[in-house]
Amino acid sequence: MPSTIQTPEQILADLGIREPEDLEIEAIAEYCGATIRYKPLYGCEARIIGYHDRAIITINSSSPRSRQRFSGGHELGHWMRDRGQIAFKCDYQSYVRGWWASNPETCANRFASDVLLPLGMFQPRARGLHVTFETVRKLADTFMTSLTSTAIRLVEHGGLPSMLVCNTPQKKEWFVASPEVSGRLWPLARPKQGSSASSLLSTTREAKGPIDVRCDNWINHPRADHYWIKEDSLSLRDGTVLSLLWWEDEQQLLDLDEYEERMGSRRSDGRTDWE
Ligand SMILES: [Zn+2]
């Protein structure tokens, strides 16, 4: 076991892992002092009990393999952060919804992404690919990871202007944005009726794949009705709807600079008065 707390990148470098097929979560966890075992669990996906420098991670044996791997990375994230004496019990909701708040669940999810979707391997495979769930599925197959974590990685590091928005039937849970969009455009509290997500949230109908949608169905900006974006939405098993938004036509982003300059209202925190 490494003597000091290491980053996921250092751990993978120590183990000489360079290809996605070598990202064996059991071996990575063992190197970090945590043994993974599988057994039926009820009411949670995984749990960890750790004491001193050893931990046992138990993962639900009846979950799909991609989720089991994510569970392993997630529990390992708890372990690497709070080594010594810990006990966590984590459910599916933490994996889907824990990406926004600053709390141990979000940190554990981020750790799992860094271990299972390392940027050095992910970026060359993702760069320039269309921001759709078809792409996400291909990358998730390569890395054997969940749709949610892979979609977040694609938006944040795929190199195209995009957002991933997570809505539950009750509210918008979180969103992530690519560097070109982050801090410049924000999603509405709720997608409007013209969006695919709106119909998925109100009915149980099937997702219809990527559609062109007017930007004001999604984005909070006075000129949003002048632009179109590509939306690809799907429902997860608990009714959560994930939506990929892609500025395939980047005109809105190009016009933003001019608009912001004209408004002259940029505040010191980087947000603008029309937000
Ligand atoms: Zn957790």
Whether pLDDT at 266 is above 70: no
> 57 C-alpha to center of ligand 1: Å?
11
> 118 C-alpha to center of ligand 1: Å?
20
Indicate left, alpha or beta for 209 from its phi (over 0: left) and psi (-120 to 50: alpha): left
pLDDT the model gives residue 133: 97
Q: Are 228 and 217 in contact (CB under 8 A)?
A: no
> 167 C-alpha to center of ligand 1: Å?
21
Residues with CB under 5 Å of ion ligand 1 are 88, 90, 94, 105, 108
> 48 C-alpha to center of ligand 1: Å?
9
Selection from 100-104, 170-174, 200-204, 205-209 with the highest mean pLDDT: 170-174
> 123 C-alpha to center of ligand 1: Å?
26
Sign, CA dihedral 244-245-249-253, equals: negative
Tokens in use for 74? 């997630």
- Domain 8-116 classified CATH 1.10.10? yes
> 202 C-alpha to center of ligand 1: Å?
30
pLDDT band at residue 269 using 50, 70 and 90 as cut-offs: low
> 41 C-alpha to center of ligand 1: Å?
15
pLDDT the model gives residue 207: 76
> 171 C-alpha to center of ligand 1: Å?
22
> 218 C-alpha to center of ligand 1: Å?
30
> 214 C-alpha to center of ligand 1: Å?
37
What does the domain layout of the chain look like in residue ranges? 8-116, 119-263
Helix (H, G, I), strand (E, B) or coil at 266: strand
**Which of 116-120, 210-214, 234-238 has the lowest average pLDDT?**
234-238
> 181 C-alpha to center of ligand 1: Å?
29
pLDDT band at residue 164 using 50, 70 and 90 as cut-offs: very high
Three-point CA angle 7, 12, 15, nearest 5°: 130
The model's pLDDT over 113-128, given as tens digits with 9 standing for 90+, comes to 999 999 999 999 999 8
> 79 C-alpha to center of ligand 1: Å?
10
pLDDT the model gives residue 103: 85
Its ipTM equals 0.99
Stretch 227-254: mean pLDDT: 93
Distance CA 248, CA 251 (A): 9
